[in-house]
Amino acid sequence: MNARLTPRITVAISSVLAALTGLACGSTPAPRELLDARSAYLRAQDGPATQLKPDGLHEAKVALDRAEKSYSDDPGAEKTRDLSYVAERKAELADVQARDAKSAMEKAQAEKDLAQVTQSQLSQARQQLSSADQQLSGAQQALATEHTARKDAEKRAHDAMDRLAAASAGNIKQESRGTVITIPGSVLFASGKTALLPTAQTKLGAVADALKDQTDHKITIEGHTDSQGSDASNMELSRGRAQTVKDYLVSRGVPADNIKSEGLGSSRPVADNKSTEGRANNRRVEIIVEPLESK
């Protein structure tokens, strides 16, 4: 506060002293223009001009000195008022030019800051773009891998179906529940037995080879009998035969988790049980390869 008030106090004291001196000497007091010029110079000296516009401040001092000399030489001269007016403007000029220089420095700093911020944001955007590119590339690669895997699976399924068709000698058909391979009971088992005939192993072996690559498919083995005998014995016989076929397929490499067996007895005949041929057709094992579940 003292530092800011000092010039004002100085000016006030100077003005009073000048007035008193004038009165004491009986001379003309300093004109208002000269008092204003002195104040303006002190204000400029107290502002940024000292640091940022010292040449302008010097010019203001020279102008003020000239006005002071004129007042000293001829206190009442019109010229003194003119020179004081000019000195006041020079002091203000130095102050305004110093403020201009200060604003110019702030402007330069802001330009520098803006360039840095812009550069920083540009780098960040580039980094994000690069990251997004990498993610896209990864996703495309994963998609391509999945596509290849699906193609391979489809090819394996196609090949397996071909092998199954060959192994089952034409007893294969497509139904809504999947691909159904029907093997006559007489080919696999002796009458009333659940143990496989030696010849059956060759036929089932070919089926097992075709199925063991079908890891994506669920497989169900169904045992069926004709209607002769009690339902309970037929159910037990069909269940035992289905289990035997399942065990054999598993022993030949078909994944156990994918395969199940069930006995249905005489409940689902495919032919008339009154004829010998019809009963032979009803005694069968069906291997159902279920379709792939849609993902």
Partner 1 sequence: MKGLQWALVLGSVGAAACAGAPPPHEREASSAAAIRSAEEVGAERIPQAALHLKLAHEQFDKGKALMSDGDNSRADYVLLRAQADAELALAFARENKTRTDAQTLIERVRTTRGGQPLQAPTGNPPTSQNSVQ
Instruction: Give the residues lining the site for partner 1 (CB under 8 A).
Output: 32-33, 36, 39-40, 43, 78-79, 82-83, 85-86, 88-90, 92-93, 95-97, 99-100, 102-104, 106-107, 109-111, 113-114, 117-118, 121
Question: 108 or 190, CB closer to partner 1?
Answer: 108
Tokens in use for 93? 């000029």
Question: 103 or 140, CB closer to partner 1?
Answer: 103
Question: 106 or 293, CB closer to partner 1?
Answer: 106
**Shortest distance in whole angstroms from residue 142 CB to partner 1:** 35
Question: 70 or 179, CB closer to partner 1?
Answer: 70
Question: 80 or 258, CB closer to partner 1?
Answer: 80
Q: Please report where in the chains the tokens 């003020």 appear, as a residue.
A: 64
**Shortest distance in whole angstroms from residue 93 CB to partner 1:** 5
**Shortest distance in whole angstroms from residue 77 CB to partner 1:** 10
What CA–CA distance (Å, rounded) separates 263 from 241? 8
CA distances (Å), origin 89, targets 29, 33, 65? 22, 11, 14
Strands 219-224 and 259-263: parallel
φ/ψ of residue 286, rounded to 5: -110, 130
**Shortest distance in whole angstroms from residue 96 CB to partner 1:** 4
φ/ψ of residue 206, rounded to 5: -65, -40
What CA–CA distance (Å, rounded) separates 150 from 138? 18
**Shortest distance in whole angstroms from residue 255 CB to partner 1:** 58
- Other beta carbons within 10 Å of 152: 10
